[in-house]
């Protein structure tokens, strides 16, 4: 019988018959109504879900950790619009891949992205490119809801493409090539349904955030506190709830004499999770002269983390303007979908 | 894993996808024999093999509409060394039999026979006056395998029975087609290395959506000509047959063909993206904002209109956070501001997977490479918040699995041509 027809006919049957068969029971009902009047800022979500480790392995230069949880609702972002992705009946799990540098333990947002293929019994069950995402308790990761084909053992392959972002100092010459890892995952509904789940009826909607989870095998995706950024901190500013910190480096391995480096680190409030995939323009004035007026490009540096930066062909005491051309085009878990969606221009 | 569903590959496949005498018999049994106009004296046909437009119907707006059913046969020449005149005659006789049997049009049969760089290796020379490199990866994020058969036959018709019968006849398994005797077949000259099939046109993608890569919710619109739910191949966004024709040298009147096999994964496209996001990613963000696209896009007429989406696609993408596939592709134009490739692509359920056989014709393979580099959007990704695949046209939903390049010689050189026909 056609699987689709089977599901259609199963849908007409009583719920008691469905327990333990078909795909209906994959559905997560753990999706309470959204907070009414969500603030245009980070807010405490209605609930949080824990996650379980599937495995972690090297993939070329990268280390990749795979975790899963209940299917989630989330929001994809195009421009300044966040569109809710609802949970589908057939969704079984929310699968998350974290990619990091095993040497510095820095979680790497990679614009070229990640593909995940799920096979079972020699057949491909799913093959897609999960969304780059931020969540309050997981930080930056690649995630999506996946539709599995019942309980059992699956082989999951994660391919991470080479980074196109600028890599500075100790990260230069690394992560240019794709890497791949494969691990097994035994899916059982009982195990999934044992994952922790908490609702926050009292706190939901308040201007606060969940703490980042402490994951034993996966480093936390945080950028340094603003006071720990190298160089001269030019200042910090708040945009549409995201925090911008601008720092000015005059000495670094990658700089020639007479050059400086403007780095703008944009992170979530509360948790300091980097916000990648923004379009930023920067202007640098020194002694009343425009020394730089162009795009700030995404880059990673061992002590700055993920940021947007540009080499400026002069030194001196800068005054900096940063224009947000588009906000972070990363998908959002609940509590972040109404934040970081503006296009502020900030002065440092 | 007792509760897993049955593999969907076991389910209904179209007759063309299955192929062979039994599929043809089943098709004739079920739908009867279509009334197909007979052919003509091959000498009266266009000199260009790729001159199909004259035999294609047009839609209400005036866009040419390809035949609905397609078969691609990747063939190896069975003889080592250079072809014999006997083999050439056999190929000519076989193809001319088809031309006499079927009218040269979508309601009859259209076909081309092309040759790969691997074929020309036997002459230890490249085809004279034609840009025909070996296939290569055309994006930093793709890792395709390469097709290296000697030849490729493309059959197209509105009738499944016609493409199947023509294929059987060329394979020597059927002695006549459309009441005409076959004077010869490819038997003993060409052997089949691979067989690919597909379809294009309103209704067919929806009928064939029970495949891996399309979610079970049957999301493909009933009137969509392609799996992704939108029309393509608008007249003003296509190169003309003249523009893709080799102009000089012994292969003047020919063209080059690029064929990629692309795997589609449309779960996110249909179940996660909104209609506005799909329009933004397929066409451009302005089309979504201004609601310029109705349904599958018939209202666009003969022009996708993406030329007026943005003055500068990269700059616009920096603001919008998304770049449209069509607006990226439209940047590949020649000095007279016309597109440089002629798409004749179609969708497929080969292997039980949603696929595109992206077949395009261009004067030089470099024209395809230039167009592809525009749709790659690496410049967009490098300079904006748009990811290399996320929000970058439709790259997130497809993976290029195979690539191949071919020369489609003019009709009089289509039977096992030498590298330098002038010699």
Is a pLDDT exceeding 50 seen at residue A5?
no
- Confidence class of residue B405 from pLDDT cuts 50, 70 and 90? very high
Q: Same structural domain for residues A54 and A114?
A: yes
The pLDDT of residue A6 is 35
Indicate the residue among A199, A215, A235 that finishes a domain: A199
DSSP A27: -
Average pLDDT over residues A281-285: 97
Q: What pTM was estimated for this model as a whole?
A: 0.91
Cα angle A56, A62, A67; round to 5: 30
Read out DSSP for A142-196?
A: EEEEE---SSEEEEEEEEEPPP-SEE-GGGTTSS-S-EEEEEEEEE-HHHHHTS-
Contact B167, B23 (CB under 8 A): no
Chain A interface test: which of B272, B312, B351, B353 (most A C-beta within 10 Å): B272
The token duo for B330 is 């439209």
- Confidence class of residue B12 from pLDDT cuts 50, 70 and 90? low
The pLDDT of residue A322 is 97
Is a pLDDT exceeding 70 seen at residue A28?
no
Which one of B1, B215, B217 has the shortest CB-CB distance to A151?
Answer: B1
Q: Does residue A133 belong to any structural domain of this protein? A: yes
Q: Same structural domain for residues A57 and A163?
A: yes
Q: Does residue A211 belong to any structural domain of this protein? A: no
d(CA A19, CA B266): 29
SS3 content of chain A, % helix, strand, coil (to 5): 10, 45, 50
Q: Same structural domain for residues A142 and A194?
A: yes
Contact B71, B200 (CB under 8 A): no
The token duo for B166 is 């023509």
The pLDDT of residue B158 is 97
Q: Does residue A221 belong to any structural domain of this protein? A: no
Residue the block writes with tokens 């839609």: B59
Is a pLDDT exceeding 80 seen at residue B227?
yes
Task: Return the number of other C-beta atoms located less than 10 Å from residue A338's C-beta.
Answer: 19
The token duo for B26 is 């089943």
Q: What are phi and psi of B120, to 5 degrees?
A: -75, -15
Contacts of B263 in chain A (CB under 8 A): 127
Q: Does residue A178 belong to any structural domain of this protein? A: yes
Nearest to B386 by CA among A112, A104, A12: A112
The token duo for B172 is 């020597």
Domain count along chain A: 2
Distance, in angstroms, between A88 CA and closest chain B CA?
8
Percent of chain A residues past pLDDT 70, beyond the cut? 92
Average pLDDT over residues A248-271: 96
Mean of pLDDT over chain B: 93
d(CA B329, CA B372): 7
- Confidence class of residue A16 from pLDDT cuts 50, 70 and 90? very low
DSSP 3-state of A48: strand
Q: Does residue A294 belong to any structural domain of this protein? A: yes
Average pLDDT over residues A44-52: 93
Read out DSSP for A90-145?
A: T--EEEEEEEE-TTT--B---TT-EEEEEEETTEEEEEE-PEEEEETTTEEEEEEE
Which residue range(s) make up the domain with A192? 25-199
The token duo for A7 is 């599901």
The pLDDT of residue B13 is 79
| Per-residue pLDDT reduced to its tens digit, B322-341 | 999 999 999 999 988 899 99
Nearest to B342 by CA among B59, B17, B48: B48
Which one of A3, A78, A126 has the shortest CB-CB distance to B277?
Answer: A78
| Per-residue pLDDT reduced to its tens digit, B170-197 | 999 999 999 999 999 999 999 999 999 9
The pLDDT of residue B2 is 34
Q: How many residues does chain A have?
A: 348
DSSP 3-state of B103: coil
The pLDDT of residue B393 is 96
Determine whether the interchain pair A162/B140 forms a contact, defined as Cβ–Cβ distance below 8 Å: yes
| Per-residue pLDDT reduced to its tens digit, A129-143 | 999 999 999 999 999
The pLDDT of residue B5 is 39
Contacts of A115 in chain B (CB under 8 A): 399
Cα–chain-centroid distance for residue B61? Answer: 22
Is a pLDDT exceeding 80 seen at residue B217?
yes
Q: Are strands B355-362 and B342-343 parallel, antiparallel or unpaired?
A: antiparallel
**Higher pLDDT pick, B135 / A6:** B135
Mean of pLDDT over chain A: 89
Q: Same structural domain for residues A190 and A253?
A: no
Q: Same structural domain for residues A250 and A332?
A: yes
CATH of the domain at A291: 2.60.40.2480
Domain B14-35+54-221 is found in CATH 3.30.70.1030:
yes
Is a pLDDT exceeding 80 seen at residue A13?
no
Nearest to B387 by CA among A136, A91, A328, A150: A328
The pLDDT of residue A26 is 41
Q: Same structural domain for residues A297 and A177?
A: no
Is a pLDDT exceeding 80 seen at residue B297?
yes
Q: Same structural domain for residues A241 and A189?
A: no
Average pLDDT over residues A45-53: 93
d(CA B395, CA B174): 42
Is a pLDDT exceeding 50 seen at residue B11?
no
Q: Same structural domain for residues A157 and A272?
A: no
CA distances (Å), A134 to each of A106, A164, A216, B174, in order?
Answer: 15, 20, 19, 61
Q: Which helix (H) or strand (E) holds A16?
A: helix A15-18
Determine whether the interchain pair B210/A2 forms a contact, defined as Cβ–Cβ distance below 8 Å: yes
Q: How many residues does chain B have?
A: 423
Contacts of A4 in chain B (CB under 8 A): 210, 216, 218
- Confidence class of residue B110 from pLDDT cuts 50, 70 and 90? very high
Strand ranges (DSSP E) for B29-184? 69-77, 110-115, 145-146, 151-157, 176-177, 180-181
Is a pLDDT exceeding 80 seen at residue A23?
no
| Per-residue pLDDT reduced to its tens digit, A59-92 | 999 999 999 999 999 999 999 999 999 998 889 9
Is a pLDDT exceeding 90 seen at residue B252?
yes
| Per-residue pLDDT reduced to its tens digit, A183-237 | 999 999 999 999 999 999 999 999 999 999 888 789 989 999 999 999 999 999 9
Q: Does residue A208 belong to any structural domain of this protein? A: no
Is a pLDDT exceeding 90 seen at residue B256?
yes
CA distances (Å), B6 to each of A3, A17, A22, A123, A148, in order?
Answer: 7, 20, 12, 11, 13
Which one of A4, A111, A297 has the shortest CB-CB distance to B388?
Answer: A111
Identify any residues that bridge with B113 across adjacent strands, giving them in sequence order: B153
Contact A193, A152 (CB under 8 A): no
Is a pLDDT exceeding 90 seen at residue B27?
no
The pLDDT of residue A17 is 34
Q: Does residue A58 belong to any structural domain of this protein? A: yes
Is a pLDDT exceeding 90 seen at residue A25?
no
Distance, in angstroms, between A333 CA and closest chain B CA?
14
Determine whether the interchain pair A326/B385 forms a contact, defined as Cβ–Cβ distance below 8 Å: yes
Indicate the residue among A156, A181, A199 that finishes a domain: A199
Q: Same structural domain for residues A104 and A50?
A: yes
Q: What are phi and psi of B72, to 5 degrees?
A: -115, 125
Q: Same structural domain for residues A67 and A153?
A: yes
Q: Same structural domain for residues A242 and A146?
A: no
Which one of A112, A124, A178 has the shortest CB-CB distance to B212?
Answer: A124
d(CA A178, CA A55): 19
Read out DSSP for B158-213?
A: S-HHHHHHHHHHHTTS-SEETTEE-S--STTTEEEEEEEEEE-STTHHHHT--SBT
Contact A278, A324 (CB under 8 A): yes
d(CA A241, CA A245): 13
Which one of A83, A164, A326 has the shortest CB-CB distance to B277?
Answer: A83
Is a pLDDT exceeding 50 seen at residue B141?
yes
Nearest to B396 by CA among B266, B219, B270: B266
d(CA A128, CA B363): 34
d(CA B407, CA A316): 60
Longest dimension (CA), chain B: 66
Q: Same structural domain for residues A165 and A276?
A: no
Read out DSSP for B334-403?
A: -TTS-B--EE--EEE-GGGB-EEEEEEEESSHHHHHHHHHHHHTHHHHHHSS--SSTTBTTGGGEEEEEE
Contact B415, B91 (CB under 8 A): yes
d(CA B310, CA B301): 20
Chain B interface test: which of A83, A115, A326, A340 (most B C-beta within 10 Å): A326
Q: Does residue A287 belong to any structural domain of this protein? A: yes
Nearest to B418 by CA among B194, B154, B130, B153: B130
């Amino acid at each position: 019988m056609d699987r689709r027809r089977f599901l259609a006919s199963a849908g007409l049957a009583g719920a008691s018959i469905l327990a333990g068969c078909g795909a209906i029971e994959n559905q997560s009902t753990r999706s309470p109504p959204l907070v009414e009047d969500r603030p245009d800022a980070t807010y405490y979500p209605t609930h949080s879900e824990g996650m379980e480790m599937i495995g972690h392995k090297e993939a070329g230069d990268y280390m990749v950790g795979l975790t899963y949880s209940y299917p989630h609702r989330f929001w994809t972002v195009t421009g300044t619009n966040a569109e809710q992705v609802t949970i589908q009946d057939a969704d079984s799990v929310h699968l998350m891949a974290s990619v990091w540098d095993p040497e510095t333990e820095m979680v790497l947002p990679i614009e070229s992205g990640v593909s995940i293929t799920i096979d079972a019994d020699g057949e491909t069950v799913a093959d897609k490119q999960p969304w780059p995402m931020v969540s309050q308790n997981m930080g930056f990761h690649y995630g999506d809801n996946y539709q599995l084909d019942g309980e059992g053992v699956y082989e999951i392959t994660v391919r991470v493409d080479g980074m196109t972002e600028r890599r500075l100092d100790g990260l230069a010459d690394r992560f240019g090539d794709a890497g791949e890892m494969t691990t097994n995952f035994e899916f059982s509904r009982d195990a999934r349904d044992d994952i922790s789940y908490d609702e926050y009826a009292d706190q939901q909607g308040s201007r606060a955030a969940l703490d980042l989870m402490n994951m034993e095998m996966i480093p936390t995706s945080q950028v340094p506190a603003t006071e720990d950024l190298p160089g001269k901190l030019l200042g910090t500013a708040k945009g549409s709830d995201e925090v911008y910190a601008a720092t000015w480096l005059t000495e670094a391995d990658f700089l020639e004499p007479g050059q400086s480096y403007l780095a703008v680190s944009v992170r979530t409030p509360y948790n300091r999770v980097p916000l990648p995939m923004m379009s930023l323009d920067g202007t640098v004035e020194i002694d009343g002269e425009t020394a730089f007026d162009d795009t700030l490009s995404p880059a990673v540096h061992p002590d700055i983390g993920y940021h947007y930066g540009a080499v400026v062909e002069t030194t001196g005491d800068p005054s900096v303007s940063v224009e947000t051309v588009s906000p972070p085009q990363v998908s959002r878990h609940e509590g972040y979908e109404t934040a970081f969606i503006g296009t502020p221009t900030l002065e440092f | 894993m007792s509760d897993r569903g049955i593999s969907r590959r076991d389910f209904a496949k179209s007759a063309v996808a299955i192929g062979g005498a039994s599929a043809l018999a089943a098709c004739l049994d079920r739908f009867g024999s279509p009334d197909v106009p007979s052919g003509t004296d091959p000498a009266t046909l266009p000199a260009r093999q790729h001159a199909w437009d004259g035999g294609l119907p047009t839609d209400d707006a005036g866009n040419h509409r390809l035949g609905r059913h397609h078969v691609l046969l990747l063939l190896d020449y069975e003889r080592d060394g250079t072809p014999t005149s006997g083999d050439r005659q056999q190929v000519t006789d076989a193809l001319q039999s088809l031309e006499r049997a079927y009218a040269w049009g979508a309601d009859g049969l259209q076909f081309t026979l092309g040759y790969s760089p691997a074929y020309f290796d036997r002459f230890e020379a490249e085809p004279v006056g034609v840009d025909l490199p070996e296939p290569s990866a055309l994006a930093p994020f793709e890792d395709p395998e390469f097709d290296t058969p000697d030849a490729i036959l493309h059959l197209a018709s509105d009738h499944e029975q016609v493409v199947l019968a023509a294929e059987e006849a060329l394979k020597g398994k059927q002695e006549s087609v459309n009441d005409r005797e076959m004077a010869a077949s490819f038997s003993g000259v060409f052997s089949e290395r691979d067989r690919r099939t597909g379809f294009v046109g309103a209704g067919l993608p929806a009928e064939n959506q029970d495949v891996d890569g399309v979610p079970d919710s049957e999301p493909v619109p009933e009137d969509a000509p392609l799996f992704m739910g939108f029309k393509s191949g608008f007249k003003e966004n296509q190169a003309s047959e003249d523009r893709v024709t080799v102009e000089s040298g012994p292969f003047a009147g020919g063209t080059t063909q690029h064929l990629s096999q692309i795997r589609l994964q449309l779960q996110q496209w249909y179940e996660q993206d909104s209609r506005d996001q799909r329009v933004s990613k397929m066409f451009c963000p302005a089309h979504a904002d201004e609601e310029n696209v109705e349904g599958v896009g018939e209202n666009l007429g003969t022009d996708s209109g993406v030329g007026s989406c943005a003055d500068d696609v990269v700059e616009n993408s920096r603001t919008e956070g998304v770049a449209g596939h069509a607006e990226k592709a439209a940047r590949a134009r020649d000095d007279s501001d016309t597109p440089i490739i002629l798409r004749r692509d179609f969708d497929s359920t080969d292997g039980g997977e949603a696929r595109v056989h992206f077949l395009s014709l261009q004067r030089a393979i470099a024209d395809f490479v230039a167009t592809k580099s525009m749709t790659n959007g690496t410049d967009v990704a490098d300079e904006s918040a748009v990811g290399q695949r996320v929000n970058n046209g439709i790259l997130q939903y497809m993976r290029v699995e195979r690539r191949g390049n071919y020369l489609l010689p003019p009709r009089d050189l289509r039977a096992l041509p030498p590298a330098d026909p002038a010699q």
